[in-house]
Amino acid sequence: MARGAADHLARIHVVDADITTLDVDAVVNAANDHLLPGGGVCGAIFRAAGPELDRECRRLGGCVTGGAKISGGYGLRARHVIHAVGPVWRGGGADEDRLLASAYARSLELARDHGLAAIAFPAISTGIYGFPADRAARVAVAAVADFLNRNTKPERVILCCFGPASARAHQDALQNLREG
């Protein structure tokens, strides 16, 4: 059952923080399609979670672009890691927006289906995958808002940005949606 329009946007929070330190039910890993340790956010999550995360991810069998899979959180404060595979930026003509929105939606579906109340996302695909940060923020906020408008879980979604420029892009996207 969906909540009121203003209510679903109030469930979205933008923070500038280290995602590995957040006390939430799940953090989202900006994963590669093999679900192996990488650089950036992915590497930080694997380092903080410990070797058990790598062992579990190797058993998950990879993940398609635009998809997501869930694992334990191990050494993180979060109970789970949701591994979302965003697209590599190829100039905007290779369905990147849809694939990025899908990665957010699939992650939220897993959180809902596992009864998770709070989930934190990094800015998926904006690191080494090269997705323009402002555009990615608009896609992320729209995908999260659309999902929350139709679902009561998760109750809280944190868009965890690493740096003030990313946080500002996400805040602006959220504000534009509120005014929209």
Looking at residue 37, which CATH number applies to its domain?
Answer: 3.40.220.10
Query: Of the candidates 47, 139, 49, 39, which has an alpha carbon nearest to the alpha carbon of residue 89?
Result: 139
Contact 65, 129 (CB under 8 A): no
Domain coverage including residue 20: 5-179
- Give percent of the chain above pLDDT 90: 94
Q: Are 99 and 85 in contact (CB under 8 A)?
A: no
Using a 10 angstrom Cβ sphere, with 0-12 exposed, 13-18 middle and 19 or more buried, the burial of residue 115 is exposed
Query: What is the pLDDT of the chain when averaged over all its residues?
Result: 95
pLDDT in tens, 158-168: 999 989 999 99
Is residue 1 predicted with pLDDT exceeding 50?
A: no
In whole angstroms, give the CA distance from residue 109 to residue 113. Answer: 6
pLDDT tens digits, one per residue of 91-134: 999 999 999 999 999 999 999 999 999 999 999 999 999 999 99
| C-alpha–C-alpha distance, residues 153 and 91, integer Å | 34
Domain count, the chain: 1
pLDDT of residue 3: 43
In this prediction, residues 75-85 reach a mean pLDDT of 98
- Could you tell me the pTM of the whole model? 0.95
pLDDT at 129: 96
